[in-house]
Structure 1
Amino acid sequence: MQEKMNVRVKKILLAICRENDYVTLSTIAQELGVSARTILRELDEVESWLAARGCSLSKKTGAGIKVSANAVQREEMLALLREEQEEIIYSPQERQMFIISELLQNQEPVKLYNFAAILKVTEGTISNDLDKIEKWFAGHQITLVRKPGLGVYIEGRESNIRKAMIRFIYENMDEEQLLRMIRNYIKNSSSDPKDGIENRSRKRLLNLIDKEVIRRLETSIQAAEQKMGYKLTDNAYVGLIVHLALAIQRIKKNEEITIDKEFLNELKRLPEYTVAGDMAAVIATQFALPIPEDEIGYITMHLKGSRNRSDTFQSAGQPLGNFELVKLAREMIKVAEQTTGYSLAANENLLIGLVNHLGPSISRLKMNLDIRNPLLDKIKAFYPDLLEVSRTCAAVVEKQLGVTMPESEIAYIAMHLGAAIENCAKIAKRIYRCAIACATGIGTSRLLATRMEKEFDNIKIVDIISTIYIEEKWLGEQKVDFIVSTVGIENCSLPVVTVNPLLFEEDKIKIIQQMKMTKKQIPVSPVRKENPMALKDKLNALSSYSEAITRILDNFFLREDRDSRTMEEVIDKISRTLGEEANQARLAQAIMRREEKGGTFITGHGMVLLHCRSEAVKTIHFGAVKILNSIRVINGKGQPEDVKLAVIMLAPEHCGKIEMETLSHLSRMLIERPEFSGLLTTGNYEEDFREISHIMEELYKTKNRQLMGD
């Protein structure tokens, strides 16, 4: 008798047996219309099937999975798979997911035999599933009620049921999937009979959101964006759509949410409350529903929590500003030192990282908004000790501010601490000296330097240089072991490692191989110490930094591009905007020549960094162009990705080193501070200018401290 196979396992096997190379889990998930987490759950069965046929499954971090088999074996397996009989078998997780989605929506009891019939299992199996589900509901302060002869249903406060609905959606879909599903749902609300139970469960919850409701809500949100002067991020858009749509359906059923009156009065003092009130008035008219004041408070919280910045938030009449955040971060670091035994107080990167992170996080916690961390499961699995240290540090915040830190936020703190602890735990090892190079010496080289500093604690970056101006004699005097470059370099006596600016896994391997070769060839030599700078030189340097910062602020620009369909069109418009009439064509050619040497798309960020050095410009420029009709390009991993933002960095051909360093610092912040690039994408000119001013002020203070001392 021919063996029956889980239909999803069969589809996964077909997907990987057809390919000779690695396939990412997200690619397979998108093809099957499920989450990457679901694919991960099926891999044990996939491996068992392959092992029974003398093959294995190869897994590679960052690359995905592939079948370890020759061409003949692949063809044989593909033939077998085409003959396999399919049977829809639901895993315990899928059954429980379906039951949760039904119970969240049904106000009436559901009979166990109804679930058993749909899921093709016994009532005893459903009863076991309910035991597991009961814990999930309890974690959301909801009671699962089982009454013999009547059925099963849930009881709990309306606010907890709504939170559970939203948490359920986010547990089973990432935001990109959810955004895509909502968009598709607008276009076509019909269900596909071929949908698996996972998609059916998701769509059952999304059925609460009528497509006409979404259309009307989008109109309200767009009006709110205009009043606030900035666009919501995809993250905030999804959160607000889901909240409002669920709210409308629950209000129709007379299920109203409540909010603490003192906190509501606090929210009323925020400018977002006025916008939320206007939104509520429009929604009330559109849907002929009374929108309670408490609901307006919740809308305010979503609008307030949508910003990509650490705005201060009033609590009991006192703003939590940078001074308090620094003090809080220092206390957390002190606790981490006592717990781990590592000296962390002098780690400026850790302090800055925690301060930048805590601001928006505390705001969200105080407004009772979710904090989601996609790396939580990995951190729990691989770094449990670090998570416990972070939990101890989080207690400082909890005690002082009276908030409860969720595990997702504790995991974020663990990520900051982990990098600092790893840096402290360095063992004595050979330090390699390298120079970072790109075609211009600005932009991508600074991104690469940031990535290398995080990945390699045994590499000292001596300088960031342009491939056009390589002074090999000077590099030799500095005892540089090798150059790491974003573009190829010809006729160079030093070893050159060519990598992607974002430093993918294969790039790290190249650098490690070069270090091994260097270790064999070049002995470690002490580098002579430079003579200390004279006071006059220090003052001149500070003056140069001041002038460079002033030029960047004077020349900052923010544009919207509604028409361009290609990057060439974007570049042409930028050149016409910034270049003098006689030099516009030269500037466009210079930017295009830089692009031809290697695309500067920042994979995973929806952003391209257009930069060059050219005599077509007389001074340094930094700016951004929002591409409203996103342009699809091939990213650094060879996959299609949309460009939503072009960041422009221009410098004269013969530009001073300090000017170059100052301009490059902004490109570094694009990666180190995701909220900066997010603000360039969604913010207005005034917000962006304030953020850049803040970054430049930090840089100036750092240089002043380095040159003049504390």
Structure 2
Amino acid sequence: MEPRLTLNSRQKQMLALLLQASAPVTLKEMAGELGLSVRTMQRELEGISRRLVPFGVTLIKKTGVGLSVEGSDAARKQLLQQLSVSPSLKIFSPEERRHLLIRLLLTKREAVKLFYFSSKLDVTEATVSNDLDKLEPWFAKHRIALVRKPGLGVYIEADEKSIRAAMIDHLYEHLSQEQLMDMLSSYSLSFTNQRKLELSIRNHLLHFIDPGIIGQIEEIVRSSEMRRGYEMTDSAYVGFVVHIALAVQRLKSGENISIDAEALDKLKAAGEFKWAQQMAEELSACLDIDIPESEVGYITMHLLGAKGKRILTPAGEPQERGAEAYAARMIRIVENELKLTLENDPSLYEALLVHLEAAINRIRLHMEIRNPLLAHIRETYPDIFAAAAKASRYLQEELQAEVPEEEVGYLAMHFGAAVVRTKTTSPQRFRVLLACSSGMGTSRLLAAQIGKSFPHIHIVDTVSLLQLEAAIRKHSPIDLIVSTVPFEHETHRVVVVHSFLKQDDIELIETHLHGLPLIGTAAREAYTEIEDTVMTVNRYGEGVVQLTNHLFFADGLEAASKREAIAAAAAFAGSIVPGIPVPQLESDLLQREELGGIVVEESKLAMLHCRSTAVQVLMACVLRFAQPLSWQAPGQDAAVRTVLLLLAPRSAPKEHIEMIGEISAMLIEEDFAETVAGAPFDLVQKELKSVIGQGYMNRTGVFFRGTQ
């Protein structure tokens, strides 16, 4: 039987270098070539030497000379062949090691020796000890003590509530809510690439959750919602399903959670407790597990935090002021802070009221929430965030419970959207300063003509040239200076016109106004970048998540013509995402193709794309056909082997369309087209994700830098 070679990627690099060298190689030379430290290579050499014996070759070390591999030509050739086909053992990066240590420690019930970790991670015990030092703050933040006892090992000490919270946080550190939604819901679908998706889920979830029960939990939750005529938001749904799945796994492991008796009594008074009981009974019967009353209490908390139909108040206390009063008072606080009028915005009041009804329950129950946009909101819109924080302090005093920053961030998003509406519902007003030699009749005549021709201009003053600088300081900010006297200004644009405005003058002013930043005037008086809201950036992010989670590949499809290829493309999309009406999608693709298609003849690549009511998310599919097919278009008849299929919902926002457009825009790059047409799918997927990611950075970079 032919011996097998098992090496990690570093060892394979080192051995390949030695086998191909015509003379001995020193450790220093090898370190420079491979970018490794001498100490690392010395450790790896021990593993290499042991594994060479079955191949009849020997690793020779000569002091002052270097390293070499000695053996017959046949043995060396066999070793090189094995080296090229043998899989590499995983080498964990420092970050990956620490993530794995967190998972292992959170799930182990007993002390574990450092040797166990070092052998599992293929590093020294000193490295493991150093990693644990760096992880102590993470565990401390989650109210978990990391205990290390000589002779016994390493373990954690914490209550079950803290351990579960840490598990959930660790999960969200690696997966967004959108990714979790996509992963969790996939268990009720028959994806053709289910194996790939399962592996992805296992990498992130299997340590804490049994993926096999996700579908059963979802079915119970969905049917329960339908019976009550209620549907959770996606984020609430994800949090709820993950909570139940984790609770079930912990209960199966014998880990029960406790709840304060007084808190449980308050929860029992809520109507949601009966809902939680019914769900717990169904879960118990389906999963063959006893769910204690304490778990029912925590399920109730999640329902209250997600549903928000009533406000939970302490037992025995009079009903507090309702969410309506809180919303009205918070709007007034923000108005005072921002020096804006928001009370006439019904959308703000309604949105804030809905948010507060659920938020008050979360705050009273001290539930943890996550806001992935918190850092961006706080840093990019500090004034809005500060105003929302002040309003939150009022709410905190009323509720006698801390309002977390994540909640403040969500409130800031509501107020930020209202500020945008105050700007966009009013016409854009450019601030213009008029100047002439005397500041008398000529400027007044000019002002009258400009006011008639440009209703969107606000003339802040009419002055002489001698008064100009004082007027600029007084009326700042100024968008434009219009003058009847030729001159240049160091910091402001100047448009020189006739005293009696001519058509050329009107066009010249209009041209300069178009060249001004849209966010000037009133918006600068409030917030420099308020129109580019958090929601806009978030929509770009949604587009990225949808695309990266819906990249699919098919090989060996059958079609003899473009018409058949379009039918095959629609059918493939329908097989990947059940529920897609294939005839509708096929019809939409045909209609779009009739308007003109895109073919890269050199790569035998064509693109099909459309916006359709048949799809609900952005999708990108690379479809390869068994044989080249005739792709006929006006003035063109090309042979096509690969089709790039790009799909978007008809109602997709422009940010989503821009993100999927990043892919089609790259087809002009020969290397990109060649990769899509002929590279293995893992490389195609990597390239597509790179294009999408770079497009996201380019587009959102404008928001982070400010409007140019």
Band of TM-score, shorter chain: 0.3 to 0.5
| TM-score normalised by structure 1 residue count | 0.46
| TM-score normalised by structure 2 residue count | 0.46
Work out which of the two has the higher radius of gyration on C-alpha atoms and give 1 or 2. 2
